[in-house]
């Protein structure tokens, strides 16, 4: 366990160095947030009765999305990518440590460090600065009850575990195809649509809801965000956790099986 | 060799280089098509749920979306050299451009014509064609000209933004992520009618970075639809000029930047 912790903490500290980039990112992310909220608000006001979410819930969804953007498995671990390209992945295989566990630990650092850097200033902006500049109706509301807040904190842990398990699959796709084209693009598309980053999942047609809800991507941000704003009642926590952790277990098993399959007959790029 | 012939020589080299990796090129273009097409899936879903957007129909928004997608893909492919200018400055490579007896703008434009953007262009074109077929537009020669002018003006506008982004690098050495708000963010905002946004936001995108002139105003004139913002028809028809003016100003700014340049020495 100590070894994995060492992997996490070194990468974490390295990633925390990019503070200036995070601050610069706030401007861009606020801009995106404004565009998204204005679009959703315009649709909402065009036909309020058709909306399964109210305006503060939509605003919370958008701002949490901006704050926790980096939690999503957008990409493969950039170092895995370069290791596969240069062939130095061979050294990784030689280490006396479980490869899946080590790469999973790295994924945890990659998904949490940038998120931590960005979510604090973004939350301050969305929660406290917006009302000051007269945009109070778009602000990020605090959770309506303590239960909602606690439930949100609990499912965020599951969301990170889920996101890392999926990151591992993308890493393995890179290891398998030796490139980032093709499979990874399909994976990213699935993540963006399925997690609710194109539009909040409840706004997709009613007949498609069960598909989105059963996919693993809903557990990454959509369900946690709706739990936060009270769009999903806090008493549903157990079901959401079940959804998340069953998917974590399945993705980890799949990843482990795939990795052992890949390492049995692997061609390493010469450098 | 004159400037235009040299540019085509540069681009020819760039294209030949990219075509070498044929499978990779096809995959990347398809990937680009897929990733950008989901934006329209989102718009479709919102219309499916809410029926209308402040009185706008899906096909009308589709026209705005298709036009800005094609504009952005083209500008993005043409201005790649400026887009990666931060790396060029950081590596000290700009010195090499300066000692050549040709303009820096020409050399940067000639760096690369990013072929894989064709994926985004195609999906924009598909949506655009679907939109104009479903809308009752009576096409005239003037309207076709306006459409072409809007395309050229929009490409100029986005290239102007990227030139400004590159110019700022002379002072910061680092490409500012902030500028993504105006390129990618501006494109995303222009997918919807400008009229649905708040006043301060609209004014910014009409008067300072005139993205509204790239697709919104010309599209209104082409659709023959009353403008909720009550812009006069003359303005709608002249709006493509805004992009050309913007690029001209950006290039003046670039000249000031070049004079200010000090090499990183690496």
Kindly list the residues from chain B whose CB atom is less than 8 angstroms away from the CB atom of residue A24: 176-178
Cβ neighbours of residue A235 under 8 Å, at least 6 residues apart?
A: none
Q: Is residue B176's pLDDT more than 80?
A: no
Q: Which two structure tokens, joined as six digits, stand for A214?
A: 């059963």
Contacts for A45-53: CB closer than 8 Å, 24+ residues apart:
A45/B54, A46/B50, A46/B51, A46/B52, A46/B53, A46/B54, A46/B55, A47/B50, A47/B51, A47/B52, A50/B49, A50/B50, A50/B51, A51/A203, A51/B49, A51/B50, A52/A202, A52/A203, A52/A231, A53/A200, A53/A202, A53/A203, A53/A226, A53/A231
- pLDDT top residue among A26 and A215: A215
ipTM (interface predicted TM): 0.91
Lowest mean pLDDT segment, chosen from A8-12, A166-170, A218-222, A248-252: A8-12
Residue-level pLDDT at B49: 94
Q: Which two structure tokens, joined as six digits, stand for B212?
A: 């509204």
Residue-level pLDDT at A181: 66
Residue-level pLDDT at A6: 85
Alpha-carbon distance B183 to nearest alpha carbon in chain A (angstroms)? 10
Q: Is residue B220's pLDDT more than 90?
A: yes
Sign of CA pseudo-dihedral B194, B198, B201, B207: positive
Residue A99 CB burial class (10 angstroms; 0-12, 13-18, ≥19): middle
Q: Could you tell me the residue ranges of all domains in chain A?
A: 2-264
Alpha-carbon distance A3 to nearest alpha carbon in chain B (angstroms)? 35
pLDDT digits (tens, 9 = 90+) for A142-192: 999 999 999 999 999 999 999 999 999 999 988 887 766 667 788 888 999
Alpha-carbon distance A30 to nearest alpha carbon in chain B (angstroms)? 9
pLDDT digits (tens, 9 = 90+) for B187-210: 999 999 999 999 999 999 999 999
Cβ neighbours of residue A127 under 8 Å, at least 6 residues apart?
A: A63, A139, A140, A141, A142
Residue-level pLDDT at B265: 65
pLDDT digits (tens, 9 = 90+) for B88-133: 888 888 888 888 888 888 888 888 888 888 999 999 999 999 999 9
Mean pLDDT (chain A, rounded): 89
Q: Is residue A19's pLDDT more than 90?
A: no
Task: Measure CA B252 to chain center.
Answer: 19
First to last CA, chain A: 33
**pLDDT classification of B243: cutoffs 50, 70, 90:** very high
Q: How far apart are CA A6 and CA A105, in angstroms?
A: 9
Contact assessment for residue A117 and residue A17, using Cβ atoms and an 8 Å cutoff: no
Contact assessment for residue A52 and residue A235, using Cβ atoms and an 8 Å cutoff: no
Token pair 């994976």 in the structure block, residue: A187
Give the predicted TM-score (pTM) of the model: 0.90
**pLDDT classification of B81: cutoffs 50, 70, 90:** confident
Cβ neighbours of residue B1 under 8 Å, at least 6 residues apart?
A: B9
Task: Using a pLDDT cut of 90, give the percent of chain B over it.
Answer: 60
Token pair 């917006």 in the structure block, residue: A130
Question: Helix/strand/coil (H, E, C) string of B76-122?
Answer: HHHCHHHHCHHHHHHCCCHHHHHHCCCCHHHHHHCCCCCHHHHHHHH
Residue-level pLDDT at A179: 67
pLDDT digits (tens, 9 = 90+) for A111-144: 998 888 888 889 999 999 999 998 889 999 999 9
Interface of B with A (CB under 8 A): 24, 27-28, 30-31, 34-35, 38-39, 41-42, 45-46, 48-55, 176-178, 180-181, 185, 188-189, 192, 196-198, 201
Mean pLDDT (chain B, rounded): 90
Q: Is residue A85's pLDDT more than 90?
A: no
Residue-level pLDDT at B45: 96
Q: Is residue B266's pLDDT more than 70?
A: no
Residue A146 CB burial class (10 angstroms; 0-12, 13-18, ≥19): exposed
Residue-level pLDDT at A68: 92
Residue B56 phi, psi (nearest 5): -90, 145
**pLDDT classification of A91: cutoffs 50, 70, 90:** confident
Kindly list the residues from chain A whose CB atom is less than 8 angstroms away from the CB atom of residue B177: 21, 24-25, 27-28
Residue-level pLDDT at A271: 52
């Amino acid at each position: 366990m100590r070894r994995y912790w060492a992997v996490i903490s070194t990468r974490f500290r390295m990633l925390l160095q990019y503070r200036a980039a995070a601050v610069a990112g706030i401007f861009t992310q606020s801009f995106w947030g404004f565009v998204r909220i204005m679009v959703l608000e315009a649709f909402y006001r065009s036909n309020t009765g058709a909306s399964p979410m109210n305006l503060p819930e939509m605003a919370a969804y958008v701002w949490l999305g901006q704050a926790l953007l980096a939690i999503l498995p957008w990409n493969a671990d950039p170092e895995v990518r370069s290791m596969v390209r240069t062939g130095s992945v061979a050294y990784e295989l030689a280490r006396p440590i479980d490869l899946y566990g080590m790469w999973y630990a790295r994924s945890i650092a990659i998904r949490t460090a940038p998120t931590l850097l960005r979510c604090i200033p973004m939350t301050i902006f969305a929660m406290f600065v917006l009302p000051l500049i007269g945009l109070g109706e778009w602000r990020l509301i605090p959770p309506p009850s303590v239960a909602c807040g606690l439930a949100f904190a609990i499912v965020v842990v599951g969301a990170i575990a889920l996101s890392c398990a999926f990151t591992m699959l993308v890493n393995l796709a890179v290891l398998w195809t030796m490139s980032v084209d093709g499979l990874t693009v399909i994976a990213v598309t699935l993540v963006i649509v399925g997690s609710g980053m194109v539009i909040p999942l409840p706004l997709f047609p009613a007949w498609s809801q069960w598909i989105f809800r059963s996919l693993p991507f809903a557990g990454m941000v959509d369900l946690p965000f709706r739990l936060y704003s009270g769009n999903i009642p806090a008493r549903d926590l157990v079901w959401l956790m079940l959804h998340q952790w069953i998917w974590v277990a399945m993705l980890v098993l799949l990843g482990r099986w795939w990795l052992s399959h890949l390492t049995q007959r692997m061609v390493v790029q010469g450098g | 060799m004159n400037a235009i012939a040299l540019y085509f020589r540069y681009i020819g080299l760039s294209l030949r280089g990219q075509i070498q990796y044929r499978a990779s090129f096809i995959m990347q273009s398809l990937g680009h098509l897929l990733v950008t097409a989901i934006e329209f899936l989102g718009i479709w879903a919102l219309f499916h749920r809410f029926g209308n957007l402040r009185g706008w129909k899906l096909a009308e928004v589709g026209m705005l979306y298709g036009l800005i997608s094609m504009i952005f893909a083209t500008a993005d492919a043409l201005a790649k050299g400026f887009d990666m200018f931060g790396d060029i400055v950081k590596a000290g490579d700009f010195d090499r451009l300066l000692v050549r007896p040709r303009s820096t703008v020409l050399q940067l434009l000639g760096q690369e014509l990013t072929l894989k953007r064709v994926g985004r262009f195609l999906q924009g074109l598909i949506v655009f064609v679907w939109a104009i077929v479903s809308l009752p537009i009576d096409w005239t020669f003037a309207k076709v000209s306006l459409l072409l002018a809007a395309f050229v003006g929009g490409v100029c506008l986005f290239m102007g933004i990227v030139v400004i982004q590159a110019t700022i690098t002379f002072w910061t050495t680092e490409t500012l992520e902030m500028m993504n708000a105006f390129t990618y963010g501006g494109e995303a905002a222009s997918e919807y009618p400008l009229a649905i946004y708040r006043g301060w936001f609209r004014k910014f995108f009409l008067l300072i970075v005139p993205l509204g002139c790239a697709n919104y105003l010309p599209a209104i004139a082409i659709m023959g639809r009353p403008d909720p913002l009550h812009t006069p028809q003359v303005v709608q028809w002249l709006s493509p000029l805004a992009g050309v003016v913007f690029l001209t100003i950006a290039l003046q700014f670039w000249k000031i930047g070049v004079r200010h340049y000090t090499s990183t020495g690496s």
